[in-house]
């Protein structure tokens, strides 16, 4: 989607034109257009029982074949960045496959600033994403046609305000691409190759192969990979934009396909497990976003990349593995594999970089979906301040988080009779015992948060800023978290 801003007006007599309305009233160019069309806008609005609710849309024809959309913004004076993004997304959702190739949005008389225009454009870009790469027989009416959006009578500085949002959108698109690809295309080695594009943005890339991880003693992570023909990888991405400041470490679970291993998942829905690398996808997209907007912070992204397959060489329930930390783990269920990947990745990152803050993201448990549905990711944290920062970033970007407990009684539920711990506890409290498992690998003094995002990386229906499929959840959250708390001002 090409975005442009024009300070001059534009009055096309064909194509698509958008005017805006607040709740209960036409505003700005909408009133002028209504007069120009002899009251047609007001009649269309009345007939549709349109009252300017946020992201609501009414369509009518103007002069000739000109398509006119009236788009609602909600309560006057209460329209925030999210509201402008939803308005931009609503425009694209209406026109994406309409046959129109271009749309202009008229900001005349709206009284909005450059940030508003930029966020409307940001929402449009996010909603325009489609993953049609493998669809060869799609009917013409189903194919996207809209390729450009122009904001006319744009506030001064709109293009400058949009530049960092464009970088963030690029990160979201990368994450959506990674999550959408099938597992025969994205596996540990090919994930790494896709991520090498980040080097063009100034990110340094390092990769640990299985031999290197074996030398380091990563028996937990490598145990997950035993049954796969695809070798595991550790992807390390470094962005140094903050001088001598200690880095923030972001760790992503990257199980590129999860059969459950010997503890095989039921066949129904197993195809969805291509997105079990959604945490690694979010970390990779966030790193691209940070580099793209030249964030003044030091951030390191670490992705543990494995494929969990059943095979004669695969680890079995009851096996004991030794993690890089030296702690031993009884593998009760091979389908609780993400925590085995994360524990070695987090320990290695602490040994290598001595961070003060570590945040991990993982599609870790189905039980978090039972708890929170598809509205919130779960957050577990050992520091109240860090939890508050992440929750605030989620609220600001729409990548919402809900804090879950980490009380001590849950910890003893993962004690093992023959090893230091087992990789699952009882059925009840599953997301919490999973978090307690990871917490055992967090060094004293390190502020740590675990985001269980299993319900958020993929959507079975359209959302405000995405079509059904990969959502890109986590990229905007992490970018905002860094921007608000770690960037030099």
Torsions phi, psi for 71 (to 5 deg): -115, 130
* Among 394, 389, 401, CA closest to 357: 389
Q: How far apart are CA 110 and CA 25, in angstroms?
A: 12
Q: How far apart are CA 91 and CA 442, in angstroms?
A: 45
Report helix, strand and coil shares of the chain as percent, to nearest 5: 40, 20, 40
Q: How far apart are CA 62 and CA 362, in angstroms?
A: 49
Among the listed residues 127, 339, 436, 480, the single catalytic one is 339
Phi-psi region of 74 (alpha: psi -120 to 50; beta: other; left: phi over 0): left
Which of the 8 DSSP states describes residue 265?
A: P
> Got the DSSP string for 461-479?
S--SS--SEE--TTHHHHH
Which of the 8 DSSP states describes residue 273?
A: G
Which residue do the tokens 């708890």 mark? Answer: 371
Number of H-type helices and E-type strands within the chain = 14, 20
339 is catalytic: yes
CB contact at 8 A, 425 and 433? yes
Adjacency order of strands within the sheet including 328-330: 320-322, 328-330, 421-422
> Got the DSSP string for 276-290?
TTHHHHHHHHHHHHH
Among the listed residues 194, 265, 296, 403, the single catalytic one is 265
Q: Where are the alpha helices (DSSP H) in 355-412?
A: 367-372, 384-397
Q: How far apart are CA 416 and CA 331, in angstroms?
A: 10
Q: How far apart are CA 89 and CA 206, in angstroms?
A: 37
Q: Which token pair is 123?
A: 């929402």
Query: Terminal CA-to-CA distance of the chain, rounded, Å?
Result: 31
Judged on CB neighbours under 10 Å (0-12, 13-18, 19+), 150 is middle
265 is catalytic: yes
* Helix axes 114-127 and 81-95, enclosed angle (nearest 10): 40
Task: Please give the biggest Cα pair distance in the chain.
Answer: 82
Active site residues: 265, 339
């Amino acid at each position: 989607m090409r975005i442009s801003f024009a300070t001059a007006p534009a009055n096309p007599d064909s194509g698509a034109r958008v005017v805006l309305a607040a709740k209960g009233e036409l505003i700005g160019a909408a009133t002028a257009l209504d007069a120009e069309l002899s009251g047609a806008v007001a009649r269309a609005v009345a007939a549709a029982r349109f009252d300017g609710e946020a992201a609501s849309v009414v369509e009518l024809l103007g002069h000739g074949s000109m398509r006119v959309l009236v788009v609602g913004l909600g309560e006057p004076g209460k329209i925030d960045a999210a509201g402008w993004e939803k308005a931009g997304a609503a425009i694209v959702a209406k026109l994406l496959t309409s046959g129109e190739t271009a749309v202009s949005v008229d900001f005349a008389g709206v009284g909005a600033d450059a940030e508003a225009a930029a966020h409307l454009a940001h929402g449009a870009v996010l909603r325009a994403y489609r993953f049609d790469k493998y669809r060869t027989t799609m009917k013409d009416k189903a194919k996207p046609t809209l390729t450009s959006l122009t904001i006319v009578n744009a506030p001064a500085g709109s293009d400058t305000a949009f530049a960092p949002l464009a970088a963030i959108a690029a990160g979201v698109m990368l994450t959506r691409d990674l999550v959408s690809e099938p597992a025969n295309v994205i596996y540990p080695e090919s994930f790494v190759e896709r991520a090498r594009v980040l080097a063009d943005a100034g990110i340094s890339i390092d990769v640990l192969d299985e031999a290197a991880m074996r030398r380091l003693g990563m028996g937990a992570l490598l145990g997950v990979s035993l049954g796969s023909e695809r070798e595991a990888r550790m992807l390390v991405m470094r962005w140094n934009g903050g001088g001598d400041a200690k880095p923030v470490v972001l760790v992503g679970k990257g199980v590129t396909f999860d059969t459950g291993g010997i503890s095989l998942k039921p066949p129904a829905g197993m195809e969805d497990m291509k997105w079990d690398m959604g945490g690694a996808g979010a970390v990779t997209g966030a790193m691209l976003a940070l580099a793209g907007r030249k964030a003044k912070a030091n951030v390191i992204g670490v992705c543990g990349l494995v494929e969990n397959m059943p095979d004669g060489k695969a680890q079995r329930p009851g096996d004991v593995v030794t993690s890089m930390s030296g702690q031993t783990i009884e593998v009760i269920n091979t389908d609780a594999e993400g925590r085995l990947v994360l524990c070695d990745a987090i320990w290695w990152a602490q040994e290598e970089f001595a961070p003060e803050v570590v945040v991990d993201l993982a599609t870790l448990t189905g039980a978090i979906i039972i708890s929170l549905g598809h509205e919130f990711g779960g957050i577990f944290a050992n520091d109240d301040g860090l939890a508050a920062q992440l929750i605030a970033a989620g609220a600001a970007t729409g990548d919402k988080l809900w804090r879950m407990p980490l009380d001590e009684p849950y910890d003893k539920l993962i004690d093992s009779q023959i090893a230091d711990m087992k990789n699952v506890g009882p059925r009840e409290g599953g997301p919490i015992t999973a978090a307690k498992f990871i917490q055992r690998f967090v060094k004293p003094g390190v502020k740590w948060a675990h985001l269980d995002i299993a319900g958020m990386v993929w959507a079975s229906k359209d959302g405000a800023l995405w079509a059904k499929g990969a959502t890109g959840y986590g990229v905007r959250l992490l970018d905002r978290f860094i921007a608000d708390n770690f960037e030099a001002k």
